[in-house]
Amino acid sequence: MLNKVPEVTIYFWIVKVLATTVGETGADLLSTTLNWGLSVTTWFMSTLLIASLVLQFRARRYTPSLYWTAVVLISVVGTLFTDNLVDNFGVPLWVTTALFAVALAGTFAVWFARERTLSIHTILTRRRESFYWLTILFTFALGTAAGDLISEGLQLGYALAVGVFAGLIALVAVAHYVFTFNVVLSFWLAYILTRPLGASVGNLLSQAHGDGGLGLGTIGTSLLFLAVIVAVVISFTRSERRSRLLMAR
């Protein structure tokens, strides 16, 4: 089995942030705007995610359309997990943030104990791929909780939350590129932080003016970012096909 994860480039991070934004606004669109409710939306999107992951696991190599579909769906489901705990069960945001942080740390610990690496460049077995996607799920759930905690729980607002998480990502980038901070740890720190960044951007764009947003709505924001994701993934797919043809020659 070839590596199942794309190369980490600037385009990878762009689509990652777009996917996290769609995860936030898409969950709100289905559960609130379309009045599906959190329970129905969670079951429906979880079913789609499971089907997507089945296809992803069956693939023998990285396939852009399969991979990024799974990322978008797991972004939505991760958001819904946090929303269910907060809205349906009344769990405070600081508790959900701590809960998913512990779950994520535990997943990293078990992954490293079993595989002796957390590198995404060696997702070559089913077990490593399982650890990878479980980690992704917890990063999205944690990011949703942390983003909402900063912007809503602490009442700092969406714009300030965007600035906070963008600043933290910039610090990670400086630590890596200037001070040669560990590449694997740098990647995962950036990956975790891009989730609350994307969620905060989504809320800033979609929420009403009275709630501190720009009032674009969940439908417009979701469709806009989803369209950009589709366009970039199509570009990824064409590039991947060209690479395979060159390798075949």
User: Is the pLDDT at 36 greater than 70, yes or no?
Assistant: yes
* Whether the predicted model's global pTM rises above the 0.75 cut: yes
| Dihedral sign from CA coordinates of 210, 215, 217, 222 | negative
Fill in the DSSP letter of residue 37. -
How far is it, in rounded angstroms, from Cα 186 to Cα 172?
6
Look-up of token digits 């994520």: 104
Taking only the tens place, the pLDDT of each residue in 114-164 is 999 999 988 989 999 999 999 999 999 999 999 999 998 998 899 999 999
pLDDT at 247 over 70: no
